Structure 1
């Protein structure tokens, strides 16, 4: 009895009136395949190559920090000669390329005198702060607070030099130079400032000769270096505008050196 009741209570399903649509299935299969393929390719592009993308951009704009500290005594001596006496540099100003794995790279400073480094700028910056503090001590104005302000003044001057070089490259449509390259080039200014500070301490009046001299040499060095960077990065540029900007970089060294070389309690002047 239970089987009959159960059999009667279950209504038979009506036959489906809709006929199979081969076009709908085809469109559905193609659409789902397109979506899966598109999302898969897009996801692989984002996540699969994200590390390669980040690595390539980091090396493009920041480069490897260890690269800038591959120096030796011979490189330091020769580099100081190039920075302080750039008109005596008889060699070329271009960097030596070193293609690795199909990518363009450059020889480290230990093998190339024209390569930028951060060892000399950092050492020169520290020496500049020490000499500035010693100069204040000779004037009887040394305080820890004054030394801190001189440290900040030096960092601000370094930052202004970096911005000057970076804006010049961007104005000519070339912002591809690694940031650490620009930081290194800007930091070489402290080598001349150290020389002028030594002149102030040892021979007071020699400062007024060494300051414009070191500013002029730094301007020549930056013009030679920036011309090499600009010619390498900029494919099309206005020649007259290019030379005006290089002249502006050279002239800007004089007020910058005068401001950084003026060691006083008031770091704003």
Structure 2
């Protein structure tokens, strides 16, 4: 009994209690430090995941949308030479490949100001505005002008632009090239308003040449798009050798589709009162 009571006394002495408290406090500190380490590791891992996800999203957005400022780096010489290529593509003596720009260890293409074959958005937007001005003038000289009629032409122009973009996207996608930036396709689709503006100018001067001029502009736009799409397939996505027969049929179909689009754009004031 004495030994047992002495044992209990030894266990519950203040000194032993202090040792137990110190031990428990040490365990708390130990596990607390481990908790901080785990938090830091999880935080670093989370930042790594978020960073990789952010870079993945940015890379994919850049692939399909690219930098809008790139498409407005133009000058007077580029605009004049580009209009010649669009209106008379069969007279273009140079190559159709885009100029590469390797700087900082990254591959890219030179902006329009340094490469006539680069797509831009300046000419499509200016051509679209010119088309609307000419359409309004034509409606005026034919006594059919009204805000509603001009609004119809604005909507018609946007629909044609959208259809052209969808057509080019579908053609490239069918040929296995889905990595072309979206703004490139928007630019190529908007060049049709250059030809549409020429058609309206000819209608204003002499309406009887409407059909002849429209067919000529359809031919020019078709040649320009075929050359451009072939260049994309050869130099930018390198899938030119695949499905050659299918490719030729799709390119010809794309060129022929310019006929209804340009006739639609050229028929200003149809149905207007």
Tell me which residue corresponds to 1:120: 123
2:171 equivalent among 168, 178, 182: 168
1:209 positional shift: 1.6
1:241 equivalent among 246, 257, 264: 246
Does the 8 Å contact 1:146/1:265 carry over to 2? no
Distance 1:199 1:106 in 2: 36
1:205 positional shift: 1.4
Tell me which residue corresponds to 1:137: 140
Tell me which residue corresponds to 2:80: 77
Tell me which residue corresponds to 1:180: 183
1:105 counterpart SS class: strand
Distance 1:78 1:51 in 2: 40
Q: Which has the larger radius of gyration?
A: 2
Cα RMSD of the aligned pairs, angstroms, is 2.7
Distance 1:90 1:238 in 2: 28
Query: What is the TM-score of this pair, normalised by structure 1?
Result: 0.82
Would you identify which runs of 4 or more consecutive aligned residues in structure 1 move more than 3 Å? Answer: 35-42
Query: What is the TM-score of this pair, normalised by structure 2?
Result: 0.81
1:206 positional shift: 2.2
Distance 2:247 2:43 in 1: 47
Distance 1:219 1:187 in 2: 13
Instruction: Count residues with an aligned counterpart.
Output: 242
Structure 2, unaligned runs of 5 or more: 1-5, 13-37
Distance 1:129 1:7 in 2: 103
Distance 1:110 1:185 in 2: 16
Structure 1, unaligned runs of 5 or more: 11-34
Tell me which residue corresponds to 1:20: none
Tell me which residue corresponds to 1:103: 106
Distance 2:45 2:175 in 1: 34
